[in-house]
Structure 1
């Protein structure tokens, strides 16, 4: 049974994933994941590996079948030819046709074909789980980048609010300073706070842009980056439950269901069949030729 690519994402991410009340022009977490499944190069490469393993398994099955070769030739000779009956040279032309057929079937090979087929099957199973693992990793990377954008947007909003407050405070401080109510040091301190808040806003804006670029690169989009926007979800955090997500339970579930763990187990089985395949070379091979 295959595990879902987002099985181990926290409830907050799942809430984002299934929120469908966003504007269509913005990228939701769902649309990001679905787009990556068909456009991400790592996922496409892993999918091609599955197809290759299926072809190799088919080749291993066909190794049990007999081999047949049929050859034919048609010859047309002009000029002097030798009559095969009288063994004399005669002018003219001669046409001949020949055909041969041969076949062979491996009867005994020390189990080589069987071990090769079993190894090919385990390689296919491992390729499937590795394909799921790649989709899992890409989905997690997308979710992480998506959430980081939301966090940075919130931090930018907070820094903008702080800048507004410090600018208002600077106006009051300047008014007091102009009227001699406070010292110049107090005024300069208020000015320095405002400049510091301006720097925080700039840093927050850069952080938003960088995290958007990270998600943009994961999706490998070809659209204009300046028009790339994500949908801001509306979540009721109080309704989310974290019960049943203990570390011990997650670890136990991961050991039995994570694609990476299953892929490693399949590769281990494939290696065992590879050893037996190599050992089969000690035994003689018996062919049936016809």
Structure 2
């Protein structure tokens, strides 16, 4: 979470710091604005919106179109599919098999196991099923582990949404800050332009020296440059906001945001915030903490999955088989018969030689026909039942090392969860410290602006009366400009940090 929070803080801090230079005349010429950091990649096919954007509308649009959030949703869908597959592993398996074979030359008949030398066609059909009766509870523990992984993936979606919401809020406030600095610098240009015109009149009247007019014109050029710099800052801030929102080119060019009333921070603005209480609240509701705890439970469940490899495995299977062979024939005895006369020679027992004896026999007609296809499938039908037991004895220490790796993974998950809590606490403490510093800076800057405003008015009167040269007058004006810019920066810095603290307390990000 700390990395994410730093990402949020950097655009705002960089934007506020650089935009402050718009009103700081001595440093405005030396600074060059670098392009903003690229936000998460996004599709440029979003529909073109219309109308000024509120912060809530910008956040909602970004959540619907940002690719990082979409990627988190896809990761959750993958975890859901993995969970479904692990649940389906508890069900029996069932498969149908079929084949058709042609044998040429000498081969073994697959149904009679006789050698034959002829071309035969055979079909084999089988169906089998198997169910795991016991596997060391690995299947059930895998389901429980995947349930936890899926819930953690849902937490990742919420974290991605929260990260994007804070990024959009930061860019939105940067844009508001830039717009206010543009207005402030434009007001200074108008004031300086009027001062140049007054100085010209006074110079013609002989009330002031020509050097005062030269100094006023130089100050006008500086103020105009500051306006251009502020406008560039506004353009970059709007571009960064549009990129976070994943707007297309046309919508980026037409992007306009509303300017809500933002209260000035005072001494009681942080009276209702306690870092310790905020941390306790955030710890219970932030999705990254929930996801980290779920992954610890998932790692513990994975230890049980690994330990299941120590236990024997028992399976039950059943199958059915049949087949057909074109070489299988059927002997058919017909109703017709054929008479055969057979002559036997019998030796006379009383002597006198051999006597011929004729016997007539009748034999039925026998023919060999191919056995019909469906009759073979019915006659060759076989069934089987099987129990299979696997007892692990020695498998290269795979089970032992898997258990050790899973235990180490538990320690890593616990360490990551502890780190998430530490980073969350540090982020809250940092946000509170930054908000408190911005609050103090705003109060001090406000008092400084009031004092410098009086000093500037006095200097303006003296300058118009020729009692103050242009250089001293410009110094007084630039001091007021720097104080006003510092006050504006402190105001927006406080507002963002206060919104971060509200976010950790479970409140919505609203202006």
* Interval containing the TM-score (normalised by the shorter chain): 0.7 to 0.9
Counterpart residue number, 1:229 = 256
Name the SS of the counterpart of 2:256 in structure 1: coil
* 1:30-56 CA-partner distances (Å, limit 9, x unpaired): 322222222110010000011111100
Partner of residue 207, structure 1: 233
Q: Could you tell me which of 35, 39, 58 is aligned with 1:32? A: 58
| Range 225-234 or range 72-81, more displaced | 72-81
Q: CA deviation at 1:220?
A: 1.5
Deviation at residue 89 of structure 1 after TM alignment: 6.7
Residues 123 and 162 (structure 1), Cα distance of their counterparts in 2 relative to 1, 3 Å cut: same
Match of 2:316 in 1: 288
More contact order relative to length (CA 8 Å, sep ≥ 6): 1
Task: Name the SS for the 2:276 alignment partner.
Answer: helix
Q: 1:137 aligns with which of 151, 159, 163?
A: 163
Alignment partner, residue 268 of structure 1: 296
TM-score (norm 2): 0.47
| Distance in structure 1 (CA, Å) of the matches to 2:117 and 2:280 | 89
Which residue of the other structure, out of 38, 46, 64, is the alignment partner of 2:72? 46
Alignment of 1:1-290 (within 5 A): 25-74=51-100, 96-224=122-250, 225-234=252-261, 244-290=272-318
- Provide, for residues 215-253 of structure 1, a one-character-per-residue CA deviation record: whole Å limited to 9, x for no partner: 111111113232222223346779xx8774433332111
- The answer to whether the 8 A contact 2:106-2:115 is kept is no
Give the Cα separation in 1 of the matches to 2:104 and 2:116: 15
Kindly provide the CA deviation profile for residues 126-161 of structure 1, in whole angstroms up to 9, marking residues without a partner as x. Answer: 000110110111111111211221121111111111
CA distance in 1, matches of 2:136, 2:247: 53
Query: For 2:195 and 2:276, how far apart are their aligned partners in 1?
Result: 51
Distance 2:136 2:246 in 1: 50
> With structure 1 as the length reference, what TM-score do the two structures score?
0.80
Structure 2 CA distance, aligned partners of 1:289 and 1:77?
31
Q: Contact 1:118–1:273 (CA<8 Å) still a contact in 2?
A: yes
Tell me the SS of whatever aligns to 1:72: strand
For the Cα contact (< 8 Å) 1:50–1:127, is it kept in 2? Answer: yes
Instruction: Assess if the C-alpha contact under 8 Å between 2:155 and 2:287 holds in 1.
Output: yes
Identify the structure with the greater strand proportion. Answer: 2
Q: CA deviation at 1:208?
A: 0.8
For 2:278 and 2:188, how far apart are their aligned partners in 1?
Answer: 40
Q: CA deviation at 1:97?
A: 3.3
Residues 104, 117 of structure 2: 8 Å contact kept: no
1:231 aligns to what SS in structure 2? coil
Q: Partner of 1:56: helix, strand, or coil?
A: helix
- Whether the 8 Å contact between 1:81 and 1:94 is mirrored in structure 2 is no
| C-alpha distance in structure 2 between counterparts of 1:111 and 1:277, whole Å | 7
Any conservation in 1 of the 2:106–2:116 contact (CA below 8 Å)?
no
RMSD: 3.0
Highest Rg: 1 or 2?
2
State the aligned residue count. Answer: 265
